[in-house]
Amino acid sequence: MSVSKTATLTFRIDPRLKEALRTAANAEHRSIANMVEVLIRGYCEQHDIAIPPSEETKNNIGARS
């Protein structure tokens, strides 16, 4: 099984927003990084922004044909 690759994202944020993010992540038993990912995916879904499939997903789809 291959390991999915991730990209590092570094940014500055208002400390109050960071604390709100930490609170939301804790409430859902998630890491902050995973909570950010969930929020971005939700935003993209609500605004019809397509997220390209991962290479792993592309390879698995091709293997089924």
**R_g of the chain computed on alpha carbons:** 15
What is the value of pTM for the model shown? 0.74
Please report the pLDDT score of residue 55 as a whole number: 77
If residue 20 lies in a helix (H) or strand (E), which one and from where to where? helix 15-27
pLDDT values of the chain reduced to their tens digit, one per residue, 65 residues: 455 688 999 999 999 999 999 999 999 999 999 999 999 999 999 999 999 998 776 666 655 55
d(CA 4, CA 15): 30
d(CA 60, CA 2): 11
